[in-house]
Amino acid sequence: MIGAIIGDIVGSIYEFHNIKSKEFDFFDKRMAYTDDSILTIATADWLLGGGSPGDYYLRYANEYPHPMGSYGPGFVNWVRRANHGIMMPYNSCGNGSAMRVSPVGWAFADEEATLDAAKKSAECTHNHPEGVKGAQATALCIFMARHGASPGDIKLRVERDYGYDLSMTVDEIRPRYSWSGLDGAENGGTCQGSVPQAIACALQASDFEDAVRNAISIGGDSDTIGCITGGIAQALFGVPQWMQDKALSLLPERLRSVVERFTATTPSLTAIP
């Protein structure tokens, strides 16, 4: 999941100031982890500790209430209700279900368990079919990539099983994409309006850094698209150790310890020099 955290950090300053270019400082001193990293780490903690994923999302949101960029309004309202004992999903199709799912892609030996856990991680809040689909498609990409599937095979499988159109190149997406989605057709904060683009940015990359640069360059919800893309790109390419070290250095000790414990229990996690 360190790839997802890196994508979130790199995209953090571009969420509302889209850059529309791949030419930028990869780690800028203004960058910081956001709610995307916090809830991704909460997912990892759930996988380590068991129980209900919603309990972890609630606890982490309460313990880290004001990250850079803050939480989405629907999730904030869910937290408020849950703090009063009403923990009910809110039929969201927002891309929060996909941005926090990357640890699931690393945690299981078989595909069925991966997809079941992705669904469970999503539906405690994002129980809209598109919210569940976005989480499962992202987790499947990671699962397939870490088992050696090619970008082409992953593309065909995601298009077949989830109906996402992955035919456009990143260069074609970039001028047509914004917070309003592709050509204004879908809200870019939804799964259906951002997960296909994030997957395309990973599958068309030459290495991990190139994938994250692709994600930031298309605009829209940059930190979340970076987070989704980064999670997939880690499984495809591995992550340079210096990038891992830099990202970990930006996390509070408790969050960093969860990442390290999760990584230690997942031998297939990869690093490259």
Q: For residues 1 and 102, what is the distance between their CA atoms, to the nearest angstrom?
A: 6
What local confidence, expressed as pLDDT, does residue 219 receive?
97
- Number of other residues whose CB lies within 10 A of the CB of residue 60: 24
Contact 6, 240 (CB under 8 A): no
Contacts (Cβ under 8 Å, ≥6 apart) of 17: none
70 or 245, greater pLDDT: 245
φ/ψ of 236, rounded to 5, equals -80, -40
Q: Which of 53, 35, 144, 150 is nearest to 99 (CA)?
A: 35
Q: Where are the domains of the chain?
A: 2-272
Q: What is each CA distance from 271 to 60, 120, 234, 253, in whole angstroms?
A: 27, 28, 9, 21
Window from 66-70, 133-137, 233-237 with minimum mean pLDDT: 66-70
Q: What is each CA distance from 270 to 33, 172, 181, 240, in whole angstroms?
A: 21, 31, 32, 9
Q: Which of 204, 208, 135, 217 is nearest to 177 (CA)?
A: 217
Domain 2-272 has CATH 1.10.4080.10: yes
Radius of gyration of the CA atoms of the chain, in A: 16
Burial 33-43 (b: 16+ CB within 10 A, else e): bbbbbbbbbbb
273 has a pLDDT exceeding 70: no
Q: Mean of the pLDDT values across residues 64-68?
A: 90
271 has a pLDDT exceeding 50: no
Distance of CA 140 to the CA centre of its chain: 13
Q: Which of 137, 61, 76 is nearest to 105 (CA)?
A: 137
Q: Kindly report the pTM of this predicted structure.
A: 0.96
What local confidence, expressed as pLDDT, does residue 272 receive?
39
